[in-house]
Amino acid sequence: MQKIVSDPKIMMGKPVISGTRITVELILEKLAAGETPEQMLEAHPRLTDEGIKAALAFAAQALRYDVVYPTIEKAS
pLDDT digits (tens, 9 = 90+) for 11-20: 999 999 999 9
In a domain, residue 71? The reply is no
- The count of structural domains within the chain is 1
In a domain, residue 73? The reply is no
In a domain, residue 29? The reply is yes
pLDDT in tens, 30-48: 999 999 999 999 999 999 9
Owning domain of residue 27:
4-64
- Single-letter code of the amino acid located at 28: L
In a domain, residue 72? The reply is no
- Of 60, 59, 20, 57, which is closest to residue 40 (Cα–Cα)? 20
- d(CA 41, CA 76) in angstroms, rounded, equals 44
CA distances from 15 to 10, 54, 58, 70, 75 (A): 9, 11, 9, 25, 38
- d(CA 26, CA 37) in angstroms, rounded, equals 12
